[in-house]
Structure 1
Amino acid sequence: MNQSEDQRLRLRIHGMDCAEEVSILKRELVPLVGSDDRLGFDLLNGKLTVNLDGADVTQGDVLAVIERTGLRAEVWDDAPDRDGELTFWQRNQRTVMTTISGVAGGIGLALQLSLGEADESLPVIAISFYLISIATGLLLVLPKAWHSLVALRPDLNLLMSVAVVGAIAIGEWFEGAAVAFLFSVSLLLESSSVGRARRAIASLMDLSPPTAHLRDEDGKISDVAPADVPVGFTVVVRPGEKIPLDGRVLVGISGVNQAPITGESVPVEKEPGDEVFAGTINGDGLLEIETTKAADDTTLARIIKMVGDAGSKRAPLEKWVEKFAAVYTPVVMIVALLMLVIPPLAFGGDWSVWLYRSLVLLVIACPCALVISTPVSVVAALAAAARNGVLIKGGVFIELPAQLKAIAMDKTGTLTQGAPAVVDVVPMNGHNEAELLMRAGALELNSNHPLARAIVDEAKRRDIELVAADNFETIQGKGASGHINGKPFWLGSHRYLEQRGQETPEVHEQLESMQEAGRTVVVVGNDEHVCGFITLADAIREETRDAIRELHAAGVEKLVMLTGDNEGTAKAIAAEAGIDEVHAELLPEDKVKAVERLVEQHEYVAMIGDGVNDAPALARASLGLAMGAAGSDAAIETADIALMSDDLSKLPWLVHHSRRTLRIIRQNIGFSLAVKAVFVILTFVGFASLWAAIAADMGASLLVIGNGLRLLRA
């Protein structure tokens, strides 16, 4: 294993910030190293790993090949993120160039419309601005197009360059500028995904506290960085603090908010012997914890690593237009050349006639309409989605919802409201609901516990006047007690009721039944008897049932719940919502494995969630969706699409919107190719003129743009 590690060449690739560079590097390096499996790409950090074990290849060979692609490589030095060392131009080059391209193109069009002369020739100043627009739009594209041409492997960069040059050749300066600008925008959207992923990891890092209270062998407590705490030592976590490392409780009882890691909707009571996770939040008790994992091996650290790994593993779908360009561009050039030389040489044709016809063929074959059709449709679809509260982070993600066969869903905050609410109030021994809520509310009035807030909110909703209990006392990890109108009352968990010895067999059976149904039970009593109990649960969203039903109707084959909550709660919510399959009590890494299994079975799988614990699964799915209004920054940044209104009904809408977008894009591509096919035939038989070709090309461009803009009405 060590030998294999020694044979791994790790390189920092400057300029590798999107899938396009990965494709170029693979194309050049695979023939050198012999297999795609020897290459590992980490787009988030601009890192390339090459396994040279058993390969007759040196570091110099690899660096030389990378140099030929126009990218620059250096040996990886494990330095931290270098964004702070980059100049403004290095960080924002693509954004600046795209902005200049758009502004210059707009100015050129304004000048053309205001200064155009009677003979329809363009003013020189308008042409100058169009040139600026084209140059800035294609500045980062032309070197790659040249490399593609030299390597005789035409790609979309070459296709775009040919489109722009063709537009200039026929005098359509605005069209050429528009193509350059739109293509630059699409590349900007793709490269920005790396920045989003880095911000997601940064937000995850914020969960870990900067210091840990370490107790040494002499009992002295000192503040140190979590990374400096050895495994097996004791750390002290005070009330309200974040737990710095994974460990096991030695001393103390407290409710711990595990939502950042497991997604559980209510705090989990921890006592000696229980496991705790780094990044979770301690409640109102003092805990002493024996560390069981180092800082770089905690559950939180693994979440951070999984987000990066899943993001780098995701292979971008190769666009149909890019594949088509590899054939279309060289075929058109070859056909035009053959049309120029064969008739005069073989059949004695007039060179001037066939030169004219070959020029007509090149003009009509200019793929402007074909190339413009997709970005215009995508931009319109993205704008329509934004108006409907759905934030789609780039054109590639507008296509995926149409192909989904399975959707995995988090429970808490996605299918449910994300906070507990009172479900049942069950009075006993002569008490009524109002009395029970008044006494529970009096005991919980000044507590910040989620269950306490839910009980107080329910009492206020029923217009029950609450006065805080006298002599209030918190019973660590069990409940609370106090005096109401001079009489002692208490409330607590089922376990606390058992400890008090006031439980009857009938009450036990009733409480067990409700807990199995996924309810959290708060028991209220006095020294004489049990007054009753209040059950709480995370309430399902109002739109959840309809959204699930519409997704099934839209052809999504399987809807799966992935949750960190207990199995009883999960099954109860799933049955109420109409979910097909349930996986409960999952850690973040378990969710990733479940999503991977779904991808193997159904290929196109979406994951929707709202918490930090969902981020790795969101990144691993074919399509990651986040609940945007109340979701964590990490989930929103990692996801490809965010539902900004937290409205699940937008999910079936998104599937239908995606299908409509694909349908319009296919219409545009089909129409563009049909027009070109007709004119190719007319050119061969001599019935097409250069002006007709120009008119047809412009007409096709305008029609596909108009058709694409119909998506704005979605």
Structure 2
Amino acid sequence: MSDPQRLSLELSIVLPSVSDERDGCVQRLTTALQGQPGIDKAHVKVEGDQPRLCIHYDPAQVPLRKVRELALNTGAGLTERYGHVTAEHGPTHARGARRLADQLRAMPGVLEADASPAGAARLEYDRTVLPDGELHKRLRAFDLRLVDAGAMASPMPTRPEHRASAHNHAEGEHGHGHEHDHSHADEPSHQDHDHHHGGVFGANSELIFSLLSGTLLLAGWLLERTQLISGSIALGFFVAAYGFGGFYTVREALENLRARRFEIDTLMVVAAAGAAALGQWAEGALLLFLFSLGHSLEHYAMGRAKRAIEALAKLAPERALVRSNGQVVEVGVASLNPGDVVLVKPNERLPADGIVVLGTSSVNQAPVTGESLPVDKQPVADPEAALASFDRLAPEHRVFAGTVNGSGALEMMVAKRSGESTMARVVRLVTEAQTQRSPTQNFTDRFEKVFVPAVLILVVLLLGAGLVVDEPFSATFYRAMAVLVAASPCALAISVPSAVLSGVARAARSGVLVKGGAPLENLGTLTAIAFDKTGTLTEGRPRLTDVVASGQSSEAELLSVALSVEQHSDHPLAAAIVTGAQERLGADRPALEVRAVQSITGRGVQARLDDEVVHIGKAALFGEVAGPPIPPDMMAANDRLVSEGRSTMLVRHGSRYLGILGVMDTPRSSAPQVMRALKGLGIERLIMISGDNQRVADAVAQSVGLTEARGDLMPDDKVDAIKKLRGAQRKVAMVGDGVNDAPAMANATVGIAMGAAGSDVALETADVALMADDLAQLPLAVGLSRATSRVIKQNLWVSLGVVALLIPATILGLNIGVAVLFHEGSTLLVVVNALRLLAFEERRLEEGPSAGISTSSI
């Protein structure tokens, strides 16, 4: 057997319809490949910025060409067979979402399905069992509307050249592009229609029916108490209250029974029927009124969260002005293609993601990034090159769909289609995040599955109490029905999803994308955060921070010589010196003529000025070239700057040492305030993990207020550091740029990407994405998560506490009416408590002084 070889392919080439390495199709792909002759192992790993398929094979048994062809053909077969769909339904309650998910999973051909109370549903299905057309018909039967009609497209072409073109085309979530069949676009939308709770009055029908029930109940009770009507007429009022209050409850109970589920709605119907059988019509009507009112508020809470997310999708305009062949024509935003030039008038919303090619203006980016101040925009020098590197483009050249132009007119070149814009991706990812359950929600679901049968067993036992205690059956039955009401975990069912959805919606409003309940809960309970240095804690570009002139020259001479020489170099440190020297010297800088500029690799640069040699470089350079040694006072100053984390360059003209220049990737001005805010929120350990040397890491950590710093780390070392932190702290977040730090972020409890606006990789890899390149959004994310965790705990205590109190109280004789008030009151309380998160206010950070250039003299 020959030595095994490895083939690495981008996952998006092999499976164009899959962008998440955790997708079920990835497991099917690796399993299918590992069963082939000559292939030892197949797995997926994140390398750099993309998930890649790694195949270990024996070249003696199967050639490289065959392995590649096998992988592509297997992937094409899976893409053709398995589809992924995201759909919307009307807001419902947690039990309705679970029932819908169960009904979707029961459909032949559906492999996995999730649904959220706020109205999102996600399915994975097998086309050989359930063709696209049949799936669409069945979804319409459930009143589900496809979020992306492209999900129903024909399978991707199987030829390799088509797959390559599909890869080159920037696709959205699950690869839903735009070369699709949109034949369903003209069908009526059900977005605003609530299938479960619609009716004569639309989505508000249950609330109106509930209020009518309460009005009839109150009128009958008051008129009977004041003896203005007879008991039989009052009974008519109560029966009518039963009808309005129980209409939707009975309907859902019947749906549950047809699905062979025995849920809370069924318990309420049985309890109300029991109260009527005992002649307690007022108590039964009160039960149904409060239960339906609780349902209505539940739907209101979910609708609020859903509308907060839908509001994002409506920010982008529907029409755009396009310059074409010297003419300006108005077209639909959906028809814009990359490369189109669009005119944006003052105070208008931008129609697409793109780059500025003409004009200057300030753009309000708060709808996408959450930034409080407008961002100045200016044209890019090379539009074609900028279009190819949109994710890495400077903020002053890049614009996003849905943001608001200021007072200047702009011309922009479209970079992404409407369905692939940052705004569209955020809406899609948040919609899918609604279907992801948090750990606490999983716990409450498991608890209900055990608790509901236990309650039913208890009620059956209580019905037999007459065999032990001498009392009439009516009293026994009344007690059993009271326990049934008291023990129904309505508040528990809504306590967690309402809080999670409100938290996710509130975060999205401020430019923070949280992918589901698990990251939201984990971020709210962790005590340690690790940071990458470059581009996260620092600006990501070096700056001239120190100018130390010697006794043999002036600061102006030192900067003039350095500027004249370094402007001929393309090194990043040289660019920092040129920019800093120009700022310091202003318009009075002398024009010095330098010649014969040469780079000394790894050390510095030399040139000729006034027939004398100029050397600029590290201290080690001057021990290798001819000339006088470094004076002791300059060496001491150099060592001091190095110990403070500066990269230093000494300047010598002929035999004279002119001074020292200190360059540093300066910390973000907001970093110290952010660290103080995080400590105030209860984060105990703030750790920097960096590839820079330990002295630089220590200097940056001390300047921004971190608790510790770890330098000299390679990418693998960063992963090991995160694993050790997880072992010590159990939970740790990793903050990075979402690309170079992807492996470390993947191993953290919560991966947080900065500057995710416009970056497909950052949006895909992170659990939490800070859309703006602004560290100040981090305390908002942590604070909101902390608040969500508190609300979840409060709701659990209230819901479980009321049940724990009412069960023994009703067994000992508590009136069913009082039990109803406490029971339904707790449901209303947890809903209102969760809605408070939508009004969460972030604490503004005080602006710190920007790092400037310090000067001194020896």
Alignment TM-score, normalising by the size of structure 2: 0.50
Q: Please point out which of 545, 559, 564 is paired with 1:423.
A: 545
Look up the match of 1:328.
451
Q: For each residue in 1:374-416, what CA deviation from the matched residue of structure 2 results, as whole angstroms up to 9, or x when unmatched? A: 2222333334444555443222223223432332222222222
Q: Residues of 1 paired with 2:680 and 2:269: CA distance?
A: 49
Look up the match of 1:596.
723
Q: CA deviation at 1:532?
A: 2.8
Look up the match of 2:828.
702
Higher relative contact order (CA 8 A, sep 6+): 1
8 Å CA contact 1:166–1:366 kept in 2: the answer is: yes
Provide the alpha-carbon RMSD of the alignment. Answer: 5.1
Alignment CA distance shift 1:417-1:496 (3 Å):
same
Alignment CA distance shift 1:546-1:704 (3 Å):
same
Alignment CA distance shift 1:683-1:317 (3 Å):
closer
8 Å CA contact 1:376–1:705 kept in 2: the answer is: yes
Alignment CA distance shift 1:524-1:677 (3 Å):
same
Matches within 5 A, 1:165-564: 165-166=266-267, 172=291, 175-176=294-295, 317=439, 319-340=442-463, 342-347=464-469, 349-351=471-473, 353-386=475-508, 390-428=512-550, 430-445=552-567, 449-462=571-584, 464-465=586-587, 475-476=598-599, 478=601, 479=604, 491-494=616-619, 496-502=621-627, 504-506=629-631, 507=634, 510-511=637-638, 513-552=640-679, 554-564=681-691
Q: Please point out which of 748, 753, 777 is paired with 1:626.
A: 753
How many residues are paired up? 514
Q: Please point out which of 150, 157, 162 is paired with 2:263.
A: 162
Moved more, 552-561 or 115-124: 115-124
Moved more, 626-635 or 366-375: 626-635
Q: For each residue in 1:324-354, what CA deviation from the matched residue of structure 2 results, as whole angstroms up to 9, or x when unmatched? A: 33542232121122122x1244446544554
Q: For each residue in 1:282-327, what CA deviation from the matched residue of structure 2 results, as whole angstroms up to 9, or x when unmatched? A: xxxxxxxxxxxxxxxxxxxxxxxxxxxxxxxxx9846442453354
Q: Please point out which of 21, 27, 31 is paired with 1:47.
A: 27
8 Å CA contact 1:483–1:489 kept in 2: the answer is: yes
Q: For each residue in 1:617-670, what CA deviation from the matched residue of structure 2 results, as whole angstroms up to 9, or x when unmatched? A: 112122222323689654553232234445545545555544443333222222
Moved more, 558-567 or 115-124: 115-124
Q: Residues of 1 paired with 2:649 and 2:298: CA distance?
A: 64
Moved more, 439-448 or 701-710: 439-448
Q: For each residue in 1:478-501, what CA deviation from the matched residue of structure 2 results, as whole angstroms up to 9, or x when unmatched? A: 455667799875644445544442
Report the residue type matching 2:764 in the other structure.
E
Report the residue type matching 2:515 in the other structure.
K
Q: Please point out which of 552, 568, 584 is paired with 2:711.
A: 584
Q: For each residue in 1:518-565, what CA deviation from the matched residue of structure 2 results, as whole angstroms up to 9, or x when unmatched? A: 321234344454433311011122333344345445544433221111
Q: Residues of 1 paired with 2:494 and 2:710: CA distance?
A: 45
Alignment CA distance shift 1:609-1:90 (3 Å):
closer
8 Å CA contact 1:130–1:174 kept in 2: the answer is: no
8 Å CA contact 1:108–1:174 kept in 2: the answer is: no
Alignment CA distance shift 1:596-1:81 (3 Å):
farther
Alignment CA distance shift 1:349-1:126 (3 Å):
closer
Look up the match of 2:204.
110
Q: CA deviation at 1:592?
A: 1.0
Q: For each residue in 1:241-286, what CA deviation from the matched residue of structure 2 results, as whole angstroms up to 9, or x when unmatched? A: 9xxxxxxxxxxxxxxxxxx9xxxxxxxxxxxxxxxxxxxxxxxxxx
Moved more, 405-414 or 116-125: 116-125
Q: Residues of 1 paired with 2:734 and 2:206: CA distance?
A: 49
Alignment CA distance shift 1:463-1:87 (3 Å):
farther
Report the residue type matching 1:337 in the other structure.
V
Alignment CA distance shift 1:713-1:597 (3 Å):
closer
Alignment CA distance shift 1:388-1:182 (3 Å):
closer
Alignment CA distance shift 1:112-1:409 (3 Å):
closer
Q: CA deviation at 1:101?
A: 8.3
Q: For each residue in 1:49-83, what CA deviation from the matched residue of structure 2 results, as whole angstroms up to 9, or x when unmatched? A: 99xxxxxxxxxxxxxxxxxxxxxxxxx99944888
Q: CA deviation at 1:102?
A: 7.2
Q: Residues of 1 paired with 2:568 and 2:250: CA distance?
A: 69
Structure 1, unpaired ranges of 5+: 3-16, 20-40, 51-75, 150-157, 188-240, 242-259, 261-314
Moved more, 700-709 or 673-682: 673-682
SS of the aligned residue for 1:532 comes to strand
Q: Residues of 1 paired with 2:81 and 2:595: CA distance?
A: 58
8 Å CA contact 1:611–1:631 kept in 2: the answer is: no
Alignment CA distance shift 1:542-1:396 (3 Å):
same
SS of the aligned residue for 2:552 comes to coil
Alignment CA distance shift 1:78-1:616 (3 Å):
farther
Q: Residues of 1 paired with 2:795 and 2:639: CA distance?
A: 61
Report the residue type matching 2:795 in the other structure.
N
8 Å CA contact 2:508–2:514 kept in 1: the answer is: yes
Alignment CA distance shift 1:493-1:503 (3 Å):
farther
Report the residue type matching 1:328 in the other structure.
F
Structure 2, unpaired ranges of 5+: 3-17, 32-70, 89-114, 122-142, 146-189, 218-239, 273-287, 307-384, 386-391, 393-436, 842-858
Query: Once the two structures are aligned, what percentage of the paired residues are identical?
Result: 32
Moved more, 80-89 or 381-390: 80-89
Report the residue type matching 2:27 in the other structure.
K
SS of the aligned residue for 2:699 comes to helix
Report the residue type matching 1:364 in the other structure.
A
Moved more, 428-437 or 510-519: 510-519
8 Å CA contact 1:442–1:484 kept in 2: the answer is: no
Report the residue type matching 1:602 in the other structure.
Q
Q: Residues of 1 paired with 2:76 and 2:618: CA distance?
A: 48
Alignment TM-score, normalising by the size of structure 1: 0.59
8 Å CA contact 1:544–1:577 kept in 2: the answer is: yes
Alignment CA distance shift 1:630-1:575 (3 Å):
farther
8 Å CA contact 1:108–1:129 kept in 2: the answer is: no
Look up the match of 1:567.
694
Q: For each residue in 1:187-206, what CA deviation from the matched residue of structure 2 results, as whole angstroms up to 9, or x when unmatched? A: 9xxxxxxxxxxxxxxxxxxx
